[in-house]
Each structure stands twice: as structure tokens, then as C-alpha cells.
Structure 1
Amino acid sequence: MNNEKTKGIITRLLSAAGITVNGNNPWDIHVYNEDFYSRALYEGSLGLGESYMEGYWDSLRLDEFFYKILRSNLDKSVRRSLRLKMDILLARVFNFQRPARATRNGQRHYDAGNDLFQNMLDKRLTYTCAFWDNATTLDEAQENKLDLSCRKLQLKPGMHVLDIGCGWGSFAKFAAEKYGVTVTGVTISKEQVALGQQLCAGLPVTLRLQDYRQLNEKFDAIVSLGMFEHVGPHNYSEYMKVAARCLKDNGLFLLHTIGGNETVAFTDQWLNKYIFPGAVIPTIRQIGQAIEGVFVMEHWENFSVNYDKTLMAWYENITANWDKLKNRYDQTFFRMWKYYLLSCAASFRARHSQLWQIVLSKNGLPGGYHVAASRENSGLTYVNAIKP
């Protein structure tokens, strides 16, 4: 197909989503290299993302550009490339999150550099969705999320909590300081363990470089914030069995994960190559199948619109602090990182992606489950949640 026909197809597709090529609206696209059209048509999301990184095109409001594409389901109109079809087939057959590969996958992203995340995240280095009710800053919103998570787990002083995928120890530090618990956290990122141990110094917190499948200890409660996306469909059942193995009979398990509306075997090609290799977003059905016969679902909450605000806050931080980072990360990396944050924000804004917090018990709590209204309030009530 010649360039003019390719250009015409892409132009018409974008127009159907309310986007004009070289238009005047902030969400319109401006094309600087005509090869963009064939890259976008024949290579799909991978070609779209790579051509952006290479400066072939731009948009003043990349988040709104993607929002319009997703709300119009334009992404489903572009043909899947042969490479993507092969990737999907391989993902259905092979386990891309087996221990050795999972470690490599995780380290590619989380070991990118602590300075990058220190200039993007809140003061606690919480790399998961914040909770913005009654919050005006990212720091406040992340503390809201951490406190809500502790209340959902019904933490009490003296309890021993397991944090699967502990990051830099933000939850562990908060829970130890505010709720008087001991926390053991595991991650596969060397950089996270090194900095996290410094941040949690002097507290009853232990952070270990360890794959979750190696765990075989008993804990009063378990939390996992933003790690399940890296587990992979082949391992969901094993993951739940490990959590059950490590949870005392009367304990609670809080699973905090991005969720998808449709089951897929393979994530977005561009995100898989450049941001989260091997990651797959689970669905309600997949989680339900994994917990069947292992856990009782006590509480399920969706606050996905909060992730839009969180990602935009991270984008604002990384943009404001880029001068501190540009000597280590080049312009291509900067465009890649902006593309990642803004495209993901658009996905939550368009409600293509969800954010779930799920509370699980091993045997069902006698009398039912409740979330404490606040750390100071001993009364029990539901907080912005759907009653089970």
C-alpha cells in the first residue's frame, strides 16, 4: 500500500475519534515524519509508541489523545500484526513469569534507577495507585491509600505482616510506624531492597530479595500492592496457594491490583517491550478462578479513577524534575516515560483499566467483614466500598 493510501486510512481513523492530523486542538496529532502512518497501521501499538519515541509525531495533550482513541475503541480497528499474533500464541503456551524470567522482567523496570522514582513518586516512594478522597497532594493521597489498606487488614500492634512485592518499603514503614506491626517484605529488585532498607532503618521491618514462590512462613496478615500484574496467568493459582500457605487461619489478605475488562494472554506490545516486560493485567474471572477453593472473598472495591489522577501527578513530577535527571536519561527515554505515564492515565480515564482492592480470608470471617472508619475510631463501617 502506498504512503498516500496509508495516510488516508490513519487520518480517517483518527478523525472518527475526534482527532485531526495537524489540527489546533490540544489532543490533535502533529506529524513530523510521513513514515508515521505506515508504522502506526502495520505495527499497531508498538509502531505508534516507537515512532513517538523517535519524534515522528507529537500531541500537546497525549493523555487526551489516547483517551479519545480508547473511548472510541479505535485501538480495535487497527489490524494486529503477524508479530503480535505470534506473541499472543507464545504467551498462551509458555510461562513468561517463571522465577528466573520474572526476576529479569522485574529488574528491567524497577532497577531503572532509584533517582528516577525519587523524582517521580511521593515522599514515601509508593509506586501504586493513590486514594484521592479528601487529599490535595500526592503525599496525602498515598498516605490515604496506605492507611485504608491497613484498616482493611484490621491491623493491630504486635501483628506480623507479609508484604509481597514490597517495593521500597512504603507500606512496611507506614504500617510499622502507624499501626505498631512487624513487616517482612519481599521483592525481586535489588535497587528497591538497597534503598528500602535505608528508609526503614530502626523499624521492625525486614526487606528481602526473594521470589514469592519461595515463601513458606506464617503471618497474621498479607498485603500485596501492585505486584499481581507481574504474576502472569500461568501462575495465578500458585500465587494464591502460596498466600494461603503463609496466612494464619484467622488472617486477612489484601490484594491491590490493576484489573482488565477482557481476558488477554499478552499485554500491549509497546508496554511489554519498553516498560513492563512479561506483565499481564488480570480480570475478575481469572482472579475468581484462582481464589476458588482457596480463599473467601470478603470485600472488593474499585477506585480506578484514582489511578488517572495518580499517573498525572507522577507525570507532573517527572516533568518538573527533568533537569535533575537529564544528564543520566536521554531525550528518547524522557519521551518513552511520558508516553508510558500519559497513555496509562488515559486508559484509566477511559475505564479500559481498573484498580481493585480485594480482601480475602481463608475460611470466611464469622459475623462478616467490616472496614474501620479511621485509625482513631474503633467503630466499624464501610468506606467507599461495595458491601459483599
Structure 2
Amino acid sequence: MADAALRLSEIAEQLTGAPPPLRIRAWDGSESGPSGGPVLVVRTPRALRRFLWRPGELGLARAWVAGEIDVEGDLYEALGLMSGMIWDQGEDAERRRLWDPAIRSAARRLATLAGPWPPPRPPREEVRRRRGALHTLRRDRAAISHHYDVGNDFYEQVLGPSMVYSCAYWEPGGTLEGAQRDKIDLICRKLGLAEGDRLLDVGCGWGSMVLHAAREYGVQAVGITLSAEQAGYARKRIAEAGLTDRIEIRVQDYRSVEDGPYDAISSIGMAEHVGSAAYARYAAQLYGLLRPGGRLLNHQISRRPLRQEDAYHVDEFIDAYVFPDGELAPLGETLAALERAGFEARDVEVLREHYALTLRAWVRNLEADWEAAVAASSPGRARVWRLYMAASALSFERNRIGVNQILAVRTPGSGVSGVKLRPRTWG
């Protein structure tokens, strides 16, 4: 057939109620839709079989990871257009998909175009369906390994020399390296670090926070991670910096740390892995590890609050390919959990736009030497990361998700928090 793209456009309009907002090129070379913008390339009917088997985000994600669909042109523009066509349809559209005869007719037409069943197996980068209780020590260790033990060479290319995998703190005209250094130093200053303080960095990654804190502020630091690859890399950096007498790196779960008290705790981009069911224990554990007057800096991605009638659904693509078992909570819920554990919240800073800039910088790094990224991981893994980071950048820009730094104190009974009053500057 030489009209597959036209037929796909007609089916998409039947499914969504509007013409596709971007051009489609099909496996037979045919094209349909508006010109002058990004092109959605459907390389094989296998992609359609995946979508029919798992309609929605997961089916599309499987086709993307497998290389069966692609985008030519501006990926951000394409994702924005597709978001309006697929992800932003709302509850009324979901009911329409279930009950509208036209939708069922479109599905039958799509099945005819897709060809014989069964659908292909999911790409090997997909996490297998998990059973049992969430957030056990063993299950959390496996989830962390899936995400972080991809290969340090891959992360070096994406993150750059700073090896910091969290939102940077940008100034106009700044660089990624400078913005990451400024973010870490901001955290050190919020924690009030001083010579000889004991610092615990929960989810220490490749060691950038503990290295900066020990070198610039003279602290004695402990960094913990569940990733053996991260730990090995961090220890090598620490040895090269001549700071092995000041920094210890452990492969350890936060629930197993028992050597408090600490003067300060940093948790930077780790709490998203904790989960709502375990968050009270997380907050209580960190509170118990601090001395009276000790400070916690909790840097964490958040989601928007839900209406009372809505239910929170885990993002299927993120859960299957990126952060297994990860959960996002609204800022208010995180604050409440920390307060229930005994903390006094002293400062909240919203960094939503900063994370969008950070993600776009990481995407540029990934795309700058695509072949090296593929060689360091796999074609599917590199495609996962490109889609995940670009889509996340749009989510931050459009206020679907946010990221916040919460400074909390284990304020003693005297009520003296030790946090200095400071003037605010608004621009």
C-alpha cells in the first residue's frame, strides 16, 4: 500500500477528534499532514501493534525505545504537539475512547493496518512487571540499580564533568558546570556548614556534594548510595582529590544508617525514590540522625496537587523504563510529612524553571555525540533518556511538575533554630 500515512492520519483524527498536529511519514514512504514542522516517522507496522496491545503511553514508549517510531525536526515541538493530541485529552476523552462507536471503528481500522498479531516483545530496556511489597530493601536496591548502574561513561557524557544528576542553579548566560557548582554551594550555605561539621549526604551519587563540602567547608562527610557503580566512581574521585581522610562512601540504605548524630543532612534528588508509603519513616530516620539544631536540606521533585475526585496514576513510561517504583508528591504533602516527623520548615525555594534549563543542557550533551552514548549503553537506553529528559523539560516548563529545596531544622526545645534572619530580594 502507498497510502499508509493518510490512513494513519484519518485514524488519528477518529481517535482524538482532531487532525494530527504534525506530519506523519509511514513505512511505505507516504506522507500526510501539515508541512514545515516536525515529522513523526512510523518505520514499521509493528509500532501500531504495540499501540493496539497497550493503548496510550506505554505502547508508544515501546515503539519509541525499539526505534520503530522517531521524530525528524524539533523533538520538543513534536512532544508539545503530541501532548495536546494524546496526554492532555482529559477524563472526558477517556470516557469517549471507551464508549464512542467511532473510536471502536478506528481501532478496527488500525488493527487492519497494523498487520498480523502477536505484537513484538517489549524492548529489553523495560523493567519486568514487579510483584510484592513496594520499597523493601531488596526492591529499592534493584530499582536504583536499573536507573543508575547504566554505566559511568554514559553518565559522564550526559551530565558533564560535574557528574551532578539533579537540578542546577542557573544565572543568565551561565554554563551547566557553573550552575551545578552554584547549586551545591547554595546547599552548603543553607546548611550552614562549618569546619569539622559531620555531613550525611543521602543518595550521594558520584560524590560531587561531599567533595565540595569537604574541600570548601572542611566538613567530615559520609555519602551513601545503593549503586555500586556510583560508589566506586565517587571513591576514585575522592582519592584523586586527596580527601579520603574526610569523606567516606558507603553502599548503604538510608534506613540502615545508625551512626548519628550529624550536624547536617543533604538529600538531593533522592526522596523521589522513597515512595509515599515509606516517606514517614524516611523523615523520622533523618530527624533521628540529626543533633538538636541540625539541618536538613531536602531537594525533591514534586507534582501538582490533585482535585479531590482525581486519582494519582504512576507514569507508565517512567515506571517501566526510567525510575521503577518512583513516586512524586505535592510540595504541601512533603512539608507536612517533615513537620510530622518533628522538623521545623525554615525555607522553601522553588527551582522549577532551573530544572527545565538543566534537562535541556543534558539533552544537548546526549545529542552532541549520539554514537558514543549508544556505545556506552545501548540504542534503546539512549532513546529512553532522550525522550525522558526532553519530555521532562516540557513538564517543568508547563508547570506539570516542580522541584523544591526545603530547609528544615531539628529545632531544640529552646526554640532557637540557629537559622539567621536574612533580607529577601524580589525581582
Q: Does 2:12 correspond to 1:7?
A: yes
RMSD (Å) for aligned C-alpha atoms = 3.0
What CA distance in whole angstroms lies between the structure 2 residues aligned with 1:283 and 1:166?
23
Q: Does 2:346 correspond to 1:341?
A: no
Q: Does 2:238 correspond to 1:226?
A: no
Q: Does 2:336 correspond to 1:289?
A: yes
Normalising by structure 2, what TM-score? 0.77
Residue from 320, 340, 349 that aligns with 1:273: 320
Offset at residue 330 of structure 1 (A): 3.4
Structure 1 residues 56 and 233: alpha-carbon distance in aligned structure 2, compared to 1, 3 A threshold: same
Letter in 1 for 2:275: G
- Check the 8 A contact 1:45/1:269 in 2, yes or no: yes
Offset at residue 95 of structure 1 (A): 4.0
Structure index of larger Rg: 2
What CA distance in whole angstroms lies between the structure 2 residues aligned with 1:300 and 1:159?
23
Corresponding position of 1:124: 162
Larger CA deviation: 5-14 vs 325-334: 5-14
Larger CA deviation: 54-63 vs 21-30: 21-30
**2:159 is paired with a residue of what secondary structure?**
coil
What CA distance in whole angstroms lies between the structure 1 residues aligned with 2:226 and 2:66?
31
Offset at residue 232 of structure 1 (A): 0.6
Letter in 1 for 2:248: T
Letter in 2 for 1:309: L
Offset at residue 343 of structure 1 (A): 1.2
Letter in 1 for 2:328: I
Corresponding position of 2:74: 61
Offset at residue 284 of structure 1 (A): 2.2
Per-residue Cα deviation, 1:277-333 (whole angstroms, up to 9, x for no partner): 111112124313312332111111111111111111111111213333433433333
* 1:91-106 alignment runs, 5 A limit: 95-106=133-144
* 1:285-324 alignment runs, 5 A limit: 285-293=332-340, 294-324=342-372
Q: Does 2:287 correspond to 1:237?
A: no
- Check the 8 A contact 2:153/2:376 in 1, yes or no: no
Structure 1 residues 155 and 368: alpha-carbon distance in aligned structure 2, compared to 1, 3 A threshold: closer
Structure 1 vs Structure 2: percent identity of aligned residues?
29
Corresponding position of 2:122: none
- Check the 8 A contact 1:67/1:347 in 2, yes or no: no
What CA distance in whole angstroms lies between the structure 2 residues aligned with 1:14 and 1:151?
52
Larger CA deviation: 291-300 vs 159-168: 291-300
What CA distance in whole angstroms lies between the structure 2 residues aligned with 1:341 and 1:96?
25
What CA distance in whole angstroms lies between the structure 1 residues aligned with 2:319 and 2:156?
23
* 1:169-184 alignment runs, 5 A limit: 169-184=207-222
Structure 1 residues 23 and 241: alpha-carbon distance in aligned structure 2, compared to 1, 3 A threshold: same
Corresponding position of 2:178: 140
**2:377 is paired with a residue of what secondary structure?**
coil
- Check the 8 A contact 2:196/2:218 in 1, yes or no: yes
Structure 1 residues 95 and 43: alpha-carbon distance in aligned structure 2, compared to 1, 3 A threshold: same
- Check the 8 A contact 2:238/2:247 in 1, yes or no: yes
Structure 1 residues 284 and 273: alpha-carbon distance in aligned structure 2, compared to 1, 3 A threshold: same
- Check the 8 A contact 1:70/1:350 in 2, yes or no: no
Residue from 413, 416, 423 that aligns with 1:366: 416
Letter in 2 for 1:272: D
What CA distance in whole angstroms lies between the structure 2 residues aligned with 1:79 and 1:36?
22
Residue from 286, 298, 310 that aligns with 1:255: 298
Corresponding position of 1:196: 234
**1:286 is paired with a residue of what secondary structure?**
helix
Structure 2 unaligned blocks of 5 or more: 1-6, 25-32, 99-128
**Number of residues paired by the alignment?**
366
Letter in 2 for 1:209: V
- Check the 8 A contact 2:222/2:249 in 1, yes or no: yes
